[in-house]
Structure 1
Amino acid sequence: MQSLLRWSIENSTPLDSAPTDGPLPRREDLNPEMIHMLLGKPDAERMKDDVAIAVDTSKTEVERIIALDDLELLIEHIDNANNLESMKLWEPIQSLLTSEEASTDIKVHALWVIGTALQNNPSAQDAVRHNFFVNLFRLLTFDPGLKYLKYNPIPTLLSFLTPSPTSTVSARAKAIYTLSGLLKHNSPAVKILSQPGVNGWEKLRDALQDPNIGVRRKTIFLLAALLVPTDPGPRSSSTPARNQPQPPPLLLGAPQPQPQPQIETHAQSSEGLSLRFIPAADPSSTPSASTVAFHNTDPAAETQAVPAPVNIHTPDDAPAGDVVHDNSHAANLRDASRSQTSELTLEALSKHGILDAVIASVVSPLPHGEDGENIEADQDYEEKALRLLHTYVVACRGSFTPSQRESLKKWVEAQKAAAGGAQQLEEKWNLTSAELSEFTSAL
């Protein structure tokens, strides 16, 4: 072993004579184009290139759709989605929705991009403008007269009878997807639904009768999500309230203070008063917890307790206010009411006839399928509708009209009999026994 170690030392290269010492030579053959080829372009450049191709009418439709697909993949990253506003890319993307030359497939992919950017992203939600919001609702309708005055009135009126090419199933489904990202936890956007000329709640109500069951499912799910209360609960009991005295911090490893027995100290004054000082038994109590009592030696006199003065030099233990950092969800953190859509939706359900439409959709379900061949109720839609009705009457404390209550009561009893009992009905609707009991008790 010694000889082997000696041989390895003698034949090793000293560190100070290593041929790799010194600065590495600069590679003159590497240029930005080659670096981009090896590492790829930054996401920001790729996003700009994709948008430029998507709005370029000289490109083929396939090239434009591929560019939108790549853009949708990039903005799945929330930072890239937020950069759409700073890079001024929202406007060209929105323009694809109203472009006369853009095909239906291009509009569908543009909706997909916008919906992905808006999902759980208040920062991107605030970047979307009102005119874009109105365009989304137009895509939900069967009306081909989006530019009514540019068309001959008779063909336009006749086209109301059939779904138009500009509102295909994929376009309506992607519009609901985009609306879901825009409306959820965004009360300012939900308020726009009630503005004159928008008729957003009516469009959502009508979407519950869409020929395609997939569009109906997405619509009822969106309405149920908007109805869920999101009020911040009361301050947790574990969170100290402001201005409430707190015990001093304890050091790790330090001996724990033990409660001391109350010791009465008496002192007799010249005026016949007896002074008694009683320290607090709890060591974590504040100085004001101690009591100084003055007792008159005369048994007939009353005892008067005077609280000890509070030490004004005691540091303030009140917690500092929450700091809201600038991020994607800062808008909801600064204003908690921004994410509360339940009250607005609760009012709209009755005002715009949505509640009647939901009840009718489960009590008397419309056929679905390409030719309306499916006359049975869709279980997925029914489950989502029951969740909305349960939230309405239990969590939101809404009330049914006598006719609504009677209709639902008969329907629930019929469903229970068909399912074979309450337990089977719970499994069918994905409700717990308590939830089903709460719902039926409200009928």
Structure 2
Amino acid sequence: MESLLRWSIENSTGPGAQASTSSQPVGSGSSGSTAVTSVNAAPRQHLDPSIIDHILGKSDGQLMKEALTVAVDRNRSDDERIQALDDFEMLVEQIDNANNIAKLEMWSPLQDLLTASESSAEISTQVLWIIGTALQNNPKAQLAYMNLSPPALPTIVGFLNASQSSGQRSKAIYALSGLLKHNKKAVDDLDDGMWDVIKSAVSDSDIAVRRKVIFMLNALLIPTTILTEESSGDNVVHANSHESHLSSPSSVNTSEPTIAALESRGILEVIVDALVEPLPHGPDGENMEEDIELVERVIRFLHTYTVFCDRQLSKQENQKVLEYLNRPNGGSLGLTEEELGELQASLRCEQ
């Protein structure tokens, strides 16, 4: 519609155009009939492109280019560059704009900005935010990002290390979730070292990072059959962005490789301990209170693992969870009464 309107403006007759006609009698007699014999119009005046941009506004693609140009310009202040990246992130919330990152060859500049030693923590945090937004529920963008050279996955995982700021670690989980969710190939590409970094994040000093890690692992655990049954408007499959899903449904099955990693890397034990023996949190470990949101996410994770995936905890971990659930005034812990009953029944069956 915008292109049609732009064409219409460019090809409309200018305000100075005038039509003049000359006529002469047709036939004889006193009828006075006349016919137009010529029409002379003034030459069409094309509008300046800047005027058209002022009327219609710049295209999203142009706005993305301008924002990225500012973001990579080291002569600009950090505030200007961060604002440009924030503008870019809002644009790629639209899936077509997210896919245009590859078409406009912007992934490499963004990745270079993420890894540049000169980039401040705030700038790298904004880039991670862009990555997470562009990749979520967008397999076309996921594949484009994974095709970067050198591979981009280790870079994102690297931002989960304790040496990074809490903001960087938080946004790294957001970006990692966007890349891994419904993307079996990316999960398969996680090596033992990367899984160990994710395992460490379960005990991160920032409680928000702990919550996000558990939420991500639960999403990766959910079997494809459950995803299909519970699909909603947020997970609509579009041919223009989900071609790989349509051509290869198994490409979304992240459950099996996630289970294998959880069991082989000792991550399950750390998650259970996060529930029953939570570590203090805060910059100096000053907060000793149990975090209800984290508890609910761990309980949801355990329900997915034992009920949906039909897997078993070790006897020791199983007993720890049962004792926790049997505490007085435990409440529903984020599950429905039916789900809580399913979890308890599953744990008792394992004894």
2:221: which partner in 1?
227
Task: Give the whole-Å Cα distance in 2 for the aligned partners of 1:328 and 1:175.
Answer: 23
Match of 1:126 among 135, 143, 146: 143
Contact residue 232 and residue 336 of structure 1 kept, 8 A? no
Task: Give the whole-Å Cα distance in 2 for the aligned partners of 1:82 and 1:193.
Answer: 24
Contact residue 231 and residue 340 of structure 1 kept, 8 A? no
1:112: which partner in 2?
129
Match of 1:51 among 68, 80, 87: 68
The one-letter code matched in structure 1 to 2:86 is D
Q: Residue 140 in 1 paired to residue 53 in 2?
A: no
Shift of 1:90: 0.4
Bigger radius of gyration among the two: 1
The one-letter code matched in structure 1 to 2:222 is V
Instruction: Spell out the pairing of 1:135-284 with structure 2 (5 A cutoff).
Output: 135-142=155-162, 164=163, 167-194=164-191, 199-231=193-225
1:275: which partner in 2?
none
Name stretches of at least 5 consecutive residues in structure 2 with no aligned partner.
Answer: 1-16, 20-39, 229-236
Task: Give the whole-Å Cα distance in 1 for the aligned partners of 2:160 and 2:284.
Answer: 20
% identical equivalent positions: 43
Shift of 1:202: 1.1
Shift of 1:386: 0.3
Taking a change above 3 Å as real, the CA distance of residues 233 and 135 of structure 1, as seen in their structure-2 partners, is closer
Q: Residue 353 in 1 paired to residue 248 in 2?
A: no
State the TM-score, normalizing by the size of structure 1: 0.64
Question: Residue deviations 1:343-393, cap 9 Å, x none?
Answer: 111111111111001100001011123432321210000000000001111
More helix by share: 2
Structure 1 SS opposite 2:114: helix
The one-letter code matched in structure 2 to 1:411 is Y
Structure 1 SS opposite 2:127: helix
The one-letter code matched in structure 2 to 1:440 is Q
State the TM-score, normalizing by the size of structure 2: 0.80
Higher relative contact order (CA 8 A, sep 6+): 1
Instruction: Spell out the pairing of 1:62-77 with structure 2 (5 A cutoff).
Output: 62-77=79-94
Task: Give the whole-Å Cα distance in 1 for the aligned partners of 2:336 and 2:292.
Answer: 17
Name stretches of at least 5 consecutive residues in structure 1 with no aligned partner.
Answer: 1-19, 143-163, 235-323
Match of 1:92 among 109, 121, 128: 109
Taking a change above 3 Å as real, the CA distance of residues 25 and 175 of structure 1, as seen in their structure-2 partners, is farther
Structure 2 SS opposite 1:85: helix
Match of 2:276 among 349, 363, 371: 363
Q: Residue 433 in 1 paired to residue 346 in 2?
A: no
